[in-house]
Structure 1
Amino acid sequence: MDSSSPDETAPAADQTDRLILEVARTELGLGANGGADGDLVVLDDATGALTRAALDALEGTQHRVVVQETSVQHALALAEEHRGALGEGRLLIAGLEDAPADLATLLAGRSVHLALARLPKALAALEVRASSLARAGVPALIAGGRVKHMTRSQNEVLAEVYDEVHATRGLGKSRALVARTARDDLRELPPRSSEVEIAVRGMRTAVTLSGIGSVFGGASADAGSLLLLDALDQAISAGEIEDTTRSDGADGESDGAPEEARAATPGEGSPAVLSARSVIDLGSGNGLLAAYLRSALPAARLLATDDDLDAVASTRATLESLAADAATSDGAVGTEESVGVDAGGRPGEARVLWEASLAGQAADSADLVLLNPPFHDGAAIDATLVQGLLDAVARVLRPGGQLWFVHNSHLRYRHELESRIGSVQQRARDRRFTVLQATRS
């Protein structure tokens, strides 16, 4: 849908949007004298109103609107609403239609007039976005939010990369920060990182985690994920799960057994062994689970996915650090950033994708999925957030494939897994978390 014919179902501009646009008009002349003296950047456009206004302001010019959304669902919704502008090249959306996902890369060589943004709740996310804008030469940023979520620290973060920072007068319960004139002494921000030790086939192994922007947990190891990995490593060390170098011939080729039989047919006098050719870290966050899978099952095809762009960047940085430490020729991490790229690939390949609920993955294509899902919507626990993810897992798992799932111990998920996937076994439990293994029927 072209911006000149707004989607009647799209969310209306809220109070924060109206304030951002009013400040852009009054302080920086957006919309005056034919629009703007360069491209316009829009970040995390919750309602789509900032993108619509930016496209209107640049109508009839050669300039473009450049959008980066943290949420893949929001990015896809904007792409659907503005199919015409996207096809004409008047709109670029980070991570879609072959556009780079990284903001600094996307803005390289562009002349930008102004950036409009919703203030992220995480200071680390604001730091990354403001630094990318300033290093790209974006002369001004207007970032708005609800007053109850705003702090003096946000001003200080912006002042690290811009010479002039001030707050506007409020509009209702919203206020905006205006940052102007990028500083001369800018430096590229290294990703936040920390080292954590995990057991890989019984051996203590150091992994460097990266935490970029608003990724959940930053660069720290989540306690639930650590419990899941301890239980999974015991299973792999005991031979319950093998990668293709151990379950097939040395060349990694199939022995000709049916796909569903690889996980369901036990050896004589022994329990069933799962042959893990294709493994997935669903909701990869900072990449801890993906790094374990890469280390413990190196011959398997690894897919790490998340619907959050900061999580995708964090996972990729973690896996690249792991590959550099291993110094192996086949340790490269795939760079696909588009939505809906299939998980297929050569044995031992690792890919990191920005997508929601495995939307681009084929049915019956995975042998093993790890999932440490979100249980909170803001501060409130919302158990329904998990149901769509479980449906996605049920679709992509092959018969006999396994889901390893960790959840808060006071919540009850066994029935959800049994009804959607198949038989369930508890593999670990402590006061805070429970690890379940579900086998696809």
Structure 2
Amino acid sequence: MFGGFLMEHFPLTQLRRWPDWESNNLFASDAADRLILDNAKQKIADNPAGTVLTVEDSYGALALGAHALGARSIRSIQDSAIAEAALKANARRLFQVGSLEELGIAHCGWTPSAFDGVDLILMRVPKDLGLLRMIAELAARFASPHVTVIAGAMTKHLPARATDSFHASFASVSRSLAERKARVILALQPIRHEGDWHLPFVDEVDPDLHMTVSSLPGVFSHASVDIGTRFLISQLTSDNLPDSVNLAVDLGCGSGLLTSHLLKVLPHASVVATDISSLATLSTERTIAMNGPYTSQMDEAKRYTVRRDMGLSRQEDASVDLIVCNPPFHSGHAVNPHAARSLFVDAARTLKPGGTLITVFNSHLPHKRTLERIVGPTTQIARNHKFTVTRTLRI
């Protein structure tokens, strides 16, 4: 069983979550990671030269564990920029390497080429079953005909229909018994579907906003307009926006609806959209395209930039006139107050003196006090039965 060799050569308990939020009750690996690697151990030993793909590896347990078990060609798809940074940091600290390439690990995006010829897929089961179906279809279409998929999760977080999500793509699908409160799903014998494959965007026309939102599975409020975002858009009027805006930022852009709205209401401004998720930035690009053209004297291609980033780590200090933000308060399955706070810290650093931050949040959250402490004077500009919208001035 899992333990001996792997724990001796790669102590999972020494993994860190950094640069994600760290505390004594948050861990960088769990029993699901151990169970996935336990089931992968013999397959890697039988074919150490085979290509392993890890998907949604939270902090590097799967990719680094596969390396410790003897895999020498490892690809990794991590939607979150924080997860990607954590894998790199853990590799440097635990294996004393300067780059992932020294361990045979390469980062990939959500493309068929990432799955091409893969022999073994190790993955955490995502919350979104649409994303799970997308991964299963990519694996069945493009991986080796003999590919094995080992997908795991803690039992309390395993969606009820997770096993069913594999049936359209694999002829043999089974689920393990619970072990240390974790389970794995084993998928074999891929079903090859004919025809081209495209990212499964869902396009939804909103008749009230007169806009189209396009999003991929796994993106916040997939295939709909989040009610907090809808309320925030209703407050982005000339009365609440600064008189002069050269650069605006949609911080945590999600599907990109706020970005598209800013491009419409600020015709003389450039707009930066940033999100931690690559699925979100892909969705934002498409949402922007579907809602254009945008009336402006500026070159439309130069008016906006979409970035996958940890907050605003790539934005210069004191460079932004306006930031709009609908901050998250969950990280994965857990409530995470640090997620919003870190965005507010970035806003404080990047706003020009006199710059404006407009934020929407659930009214029960203490964000107004946090904004006043981190960014500057904050006033409530709207409130309904669930949400509050505030305007904060950077001083």
- Shorter chain as denominator, the TM-score bin is 0.7 to 0.9
Q: Select 1:35's aligned residue among 45, 48, 64.
A: 48
Offset at residue 185 of structure 1 (A) = 2.1
Q: What is the distance in 2 between the residues matched to 1:312 and 1:434?
A: 26
Match of 1:82 among 91, 108, 116: 91
Question: CA, structure 1 residues 323+40, in 2 after alignment: closer, same or farther (shift >3 Å)?
Answer: farther
1:132: which partner in 2? 138
* Partner in structure 2 of residue 335 of structure 1: none
1:251-290 deviations in Å (ceiling 9; x for gaps): xxxxxxxxxxxxxxxxxxxxxx2x2111111111111111
| Count of matched residue positions in the alignment of Structure 1 and Structure 2 | 368
Is residue 2:54 matched to residue 1:50? Answer: no
| Structure possessing the higher radius of gyration over alpha carbons | 1
Relative to structure 1, the CA distance from residue 323 to residue 423 in structure 2 (aligned partners, 3 Å threshold; closer, same or farther) is same
| 1:325-336 alignment runs, 5 A limit | 330-332=299-301
Task: Return the alpha-carbon distance in structure 2 between the equivalents of residues 384 and 82 of structure 1.
Answer: 24
Partner AA of 2:105 in structure 1? L
Matches of residues 110-125 of structure 1 in structure 2 within 5 Å?
A: 110-125=116-131
CA-to-aligned-CA distance 1:23-59 (integer Å, 9 cap, x gap): 2235xx2212x514x3110012235221123223455
* Matching of residue 215 in structure 1 with residue 219 in structure 2: yes
Deviations 1:346-384 (A, max 9, x none): 5x2x22111112111110011110011113456775544
SS at match of 1:363: coil
Distance in 1 separating the partners of 2:110 and 2:269: 28
Name the TM-score, length of structure 1 as normaliser. 0.75
What is the one-letter code of the residue matched to 2:312? L
The 3-state SS of whatever aligns with 1:55 is helix
Aligned equivalent of 1:171:
179
Give the partner amino acid of 2:30: D
- Any idea what SS the aligned residue of 1:31 has? helix
In structure 2, C-alpha distance between the alignment counterparts of 1:359 and 1:81, rounded to whole Å: 20
Aligned to 1:235: 239
1:141 aligns with 2:149: yes
The normalised TM-score by structure 2 is: 0.83
> CA 1:319–1:358 in 2, change beyond 3 Å: closer, same or farther?
same
Shift of 1:428: 1.5
Q: Report the equivalent of 2:315.
A: 361
- CA–CA distance in structure 2, aligned partners of residues 78 and 381 of structure 1: 22
Is the 2:177–2:183 Cα contact (8 Å) retained in structure 1? Answer: yes
Contact 1:219 1:286 in 2 (8 A): no
Structure 1 position 398, deviation (Å): 0.5
1:194 is matched with which residue: 185, 189, 204?
A: 204
- 1:298/1:178 Cα in 2 relative to 1: closer, same or farther (>3 Å)? farther
Shift of 1:120: 1.0
Aligned mates of 1:300, 1:134 — CA distance in 2:
44
What's the CA shift string for 1:117-168, capped at 9, x where partnerless?
A: 0111221221222222223224221101122333452122111122221112
CA contact (8 A) 2:58 2:83 kept: yes
- After superposition, the CA RMSD in angstroms is 2.9
- 1:427 pairs with 2:381: yes
Alignment match, 2:4:
none
- Matching of residues 40-439 of structure 1 within 5 Å: 40-58=52-70, 64-83=73-92, 84=97, 86-88=100-102, 90-94=104-108, 101-107=109-115, 110-138=116-144, 139-185=147-193, 187-197=197-207, 206-235=210-239, 241=242, 273=243, 275-323=244-292, 330-332=299-301, 346=302, 348=303, 350-376=304-330, 383-439=337-393
Question: 2:15·2:29 contact (CA, 8 Å) conserved in 1?
Answer: no
When residues 383 and 176 of structure 1 are mapped into structure 2, their CA distance, relative to the original with a 3 A threshold, is closer
User: Gaps spanning 5+ residues in structure 2: where?
Assistant: 1-7, 17-27
Change in 2 beyond 3 A, CA 1:377/1:21:
closer
Decide whether aligned partners of structure 1 residues 113 and 384 sit closer, same or farther in structure 2, where only a CA change above 3 A counts. closer
Deviations 1:273-321 (A, max 9, x none): 2x21111111111111111112222432211111123222222221232
Larger mean Cα displacement after TM superposition, 352-361 or 383-392: 383-392
In structure 1, give the amino acid aligned to 2:117: S
Matched residues in 2 for 1:351 and 1:189: separation?
A: 21
Structure 1 window deviating more from structure 2 (152-161 vs 131-140): it is 131-140
Q: Which runs of 5+ in 1 are unaligned?
A: 95-100, 200-205, 242-272, 333-345
* Contact kept in structure 2, 1:193 and 1:210, CA below 8 Å: yes
Matched position secondary structure for 1:321: helix
